[in-house]
Amino acid sequence: MDCGIDEILLRLKGTREYEILSGIKEIYYSLEKCQNEWYARTEFTCPAGCGKCCHNFEPDLSEAEALYLAAWLLQNQTDKAYSIADGTFTYSPERTCILFDNENSYHCTCYNGRAFICRLFGGSCVKDKNGFPCWRPCKFYPDSRLASHKPPIFHREYDMEETMQLFGTLPPVMSDVTAQALGFTPENEKTEPLRKILPEKIRLLVTILSFLESTPA
């Protein structure tokens, strides 16, 4: 059962990591709410069992989103978290994200803890050269499903006005959402590959939790 990160948050209360995780949790909640409204209006949800965006790709994570994924794994998949931290976890042999499972119809094994790029892919806008939102259908979205839309949609960029004419709404803007996340760690705005930063953040949280639980109240 996925219980989010509430248990880990409770144990981290009073720390810098608690503030970061609480902030990211709120952004993820707001993002999901906004995207659900977009999906309900447009019906542009991922085709069942697709997972093509996970192939030949490994996300880079900021410190804040890596901490969130680390906390989520520690709470919901504790054994996996420890094996990732100590280097004994066997990553997917496929040319995919290291947390991809080809045998699972949902593919992503950390779905509710996943990074921003994974949440935003296919369900967000980018900004054009003038700073206005524009939308492009996911490159993996079937042509037949795009063609069945009234009016038909194509694999091209739609500016803000065109997108509003099609759907009457816009999905979240990717750069705006990620900028919010970086705001929680202004001293460290770099991103690093998942397989490098995730073990580090799991070990960090384990160390902090062990210290907190060994310190007298």
CA angle (182 as vertex; 158, 11 as ends), nearest 5: 125
Whether 217 has a pLDDT exceeding 60, the answer reads: no
Give the DSSP letter of residue 54.
Answer: G
Cα torsion 73, 74, 79, 81: sign: positive
Structure tokens at 61: 């994570």
The predicted model gives 136-141 an average pLDDT of 92
Q: What is the pTM of this model?
A: 0.92
pLDDT per residue over 95-124, tens digit each?
Answer: 888 898 888 778 899 999 999 999 999 899
Structure tokens at 51: 């997972």
pLDDT per residue over 151-210, tens digit each?
Answer: 999 999 999 999 999 999 999 999 998 888 888 887 777 899 999 999 999 999 999 999
In the chain, the N- to C-terminal Cα span, in Å, equals 31
More confident residue, 50 or 208: 208
